Structure 1
Amino acid sequence: MTASLRTPRRRIVVVGALATTLVAATVGLAPQSASAATAAPQDGWLRVGHLSPDTKAVDVELSSLSGGKTIFELDDVTYGQVSPYKELPTGTYVLSMRASDAPDSTPVISTDVTVQGGDASTVVAYGKSTSLKTAAYTDDLQQPGDGKAKLRLVQAATTAKTVDVSTSEGTAIASGAKFGTATKYATVGAGKWNLDLSGGGQVGSADVDLAGNTVSTLFVLDDSKGDLTVVPVTDAAATAQTPAGGVQTGGGGTAAERPSTDAFHALVRTIRGIFN
């Protein structure tokens, strides 16, 4: 593309109802169980995301590095879906993803993940299926206080090598965010924000409503037409209790090992509707 050509302006869409669904179903805003609230300080928290646009639904298995004991499993994880946090003892584990319709097949990807005491992290598979990669991001879930919201961006759109995001008031959320990376967190005032986004020859905007005293991640993904879309996920919220160890996970430790709740399946249907 030469400098004389004008870049088409495209709307980057955030579905408002999706943010509510993700907060309730993905992160789980219900108070934690007594066992989670009294967890040993050496425990950490881990969640998993499927961010590969042309990789079909996968079954996720986390097993111990020594002995191969299965720690937890997630069934039928689809593109754009992020699991709840799982509370785990510190140590190194093996994370494997297999095609949901072929549970005994060779994993489409497998990687070692390390859980640190008192920390939370997000591990994702991203990129096209022919060059699938994994990345682990450390989640800073210290809440910003009343009237404020903290957010970062994970750039997983395959159509843009870098993405820039700023608020309508000029606060930079991401500048030159490279494919497969997570930005640092930025603190903004709580409320409704218009975000300006650009990348891969596309420009656009997205409206997000950030509740006070929350931490969120904006996942930039491909939509079904090859354009950009933003999926917001609330990582920590004021309605959740704080697990021992100082990390607020928004309900980490309450997720079933094989998620089968109505809310979880409603989330799956919502995401499939966006990307299909």
Structure 2
Amino acid sequence: MSTISPESTKAPRTRRSGPARLGVVLAVAAAAVLAVGAGVLHAPSAEAAGSATGWVRVGHLSPDTKSVDVRLTALSGGQVAYELDDVTYGQVSPYKRLPVGTYSVSMVPAGAAVTSTPVISASVTVASGKPITVVAYGKNADLKTTVFEDDLTKPADDKARIRLVQAATVSKSVSVETTTGTPIAENAPYGSASGYASVDAGKWTLDLQGKKKAATATKSLTLASGSINTLFILDNSKGGITIVPAVDSAATTTTPKGGVQTGGGYEATRAGLDLVGPTPALFPELRR
């Protein structure tokens, strides 16, 4: 194994203005793959964001909250900047490039009228050149939102970077290490994101350990050279925990085209990328 050096299902739909609706994009995406059967997220590089824009992605990490529709609305002017349909547990959207400013993020039950009372809502700030991940997590009766600041700095040659987001409600903290005992994150508390670890690119087997006997899991994965990855730690349907990995950025990805990122304002904001994530066929442990 390589040495790690720590550093500081039904698919949802992206709403579109034209007739095209989305499909599910899964599994293999050439060299930019986190090859474990999870959804592959095409993300920006750290250099891609312009001086007046930032990047936002959204995740549904609440195990007993049914599928939701997500809307990001600019507080200045009230224009809708990003909409996602039918987002289910364990799904995380691609990054969306948006003008800097403050946005309201709201989630309503899937298919509900836009005037419906949100399941949860929060305000987030998009900063110049900064990528963020906005998640709803926790049980439905105590639903929370938080914002994680992402670091898409390119790894060194033949390296990959990896972190975890601890959203499993069944364990107050989790630790992840390789099967040889090298730690990636130790006692990461619930609702937090760990720091990034730098590892050699290639195949890895990871052990996940929570604070109760059932809260253990093992995951084999392949980290592409130049990739940046997040392990989302979630509940499974048997009262334990599971790992849903996502590629945040990879050396072979390019900046998304179209929509706000072209500099055209809000007129094309519904033409975003497909939102992908685990499906019941590949992740039966997330069925509820």
TM-score of the superposed pair, with normalisation by structure 1 = 0.79
Corresponding residue for residue 93 of structure 1: 103
Matched to 1:215, the amino acid is I
Asked if the contact 1:16/1:208 (under 8 Å) is kept, the reply is no
Matched to 1:179, the amino acid is Y
What is the rounded CA distance, in whole Å, between the counterparts of 1:105 and 1:19 in structure 2?
A: 37
What is the rounded CA distance, in whole Å, between the counterparts of 1:180 and 1:234 in structure 2?
A: 20
Asked if the contact 2:50/2:129 (under 8 Å) is kept, the reply is no
1:101-131 Cα deviation digits (max 9, x unpaired): 3233200100000011011010000000000
Distance 1:195 1:21, change over 3 A: closer
Q: Once the 2 structures are TM-superposed, how far is the Cα of residue 270 of structure 1 from its aligned partner?
A: 5.0
Corresponding residue for residue 31 of structure 2: none
What is the rounded CA distance, in whole Å, between the counterparts of 1:253 and 1:214 in structure 2?
A: 22
Q: Secondary structure at the match of 1:130?
A: helix
RMSD of equivalent CA atoms: 3.0
What is the rounded CA distance, in whole Å, between the counterparts of 1:237 and 1:188 in structure 2?
A: 14
Corresponding residue for residue 22 of structure 1: 39
Matches within 5 A, 1:227-242: 227-241=240-254
What is the rounded CA distance, in whole Å, between the counterparts of 1:19 and 1:269 in structure 2?
A: 15
Aligned length: 244
User: What runs of 5+ residues in structure 1 fail to find an aligned partner?
Assistant: 1-14, 244-251
Q: Percent identity?
A: 50
What is the rounded CA distance, in whole Å, between the counterparts of 1:196 and 1:266 in structure 2?
A: 22
Corresponding residue for residue 59 of structure 1: 69
1:129-151 Cα deviation digits (max 9, x unpaired): 00000010011011213311100
Q: Looking at secondary structure, tell me which structure has more helix per residue.
A: 1
Q: Confirm whether residue 109 of structure 1 aligns to residue 123 of structure 2.
A: no
Corresponding residue for residue 131 of structure 1: 142
Q: Secondary structure at the match of 2:195?
A: coil
Q: Secondary structure at the match of 1:22?
A: coil
Asked if the contact 2:107/2:118 (under 8 Å) is kept, the reply is yes
Q: Once the 2 structures are TM-superposed, how far is the Cα of residue 164 of structure 1 from its aligned partner?
A: 0.8
Matched to 1:182, the amino acid is A
Asked if the contact 2:176/2:185 (under 8 Å) is kept, the reply is yes
1:144-177 Cα deviation digits (max 9, x unpaired): 1331110000000010000011123433211111
Work out which of the residue numbers 38, 56, 59 in structure 2 matches 1:49.
59
What is the rounded CA distance, in whole Å, between the counterparts of 1:192 and 1:102 in structure 2?
A: 43
Asked if the contact 1:78/1:272 (under 8 Å) is kept, the reply is no
What is the rounded CA distance, in whole Å, between the counterparts of 2:139 and 2:271 in structure 1?
A: 26
User: What runs of 5+ residues in structure 2 fail to find an aligned partner?
Assistant: 1-25, 29-34, 263-267
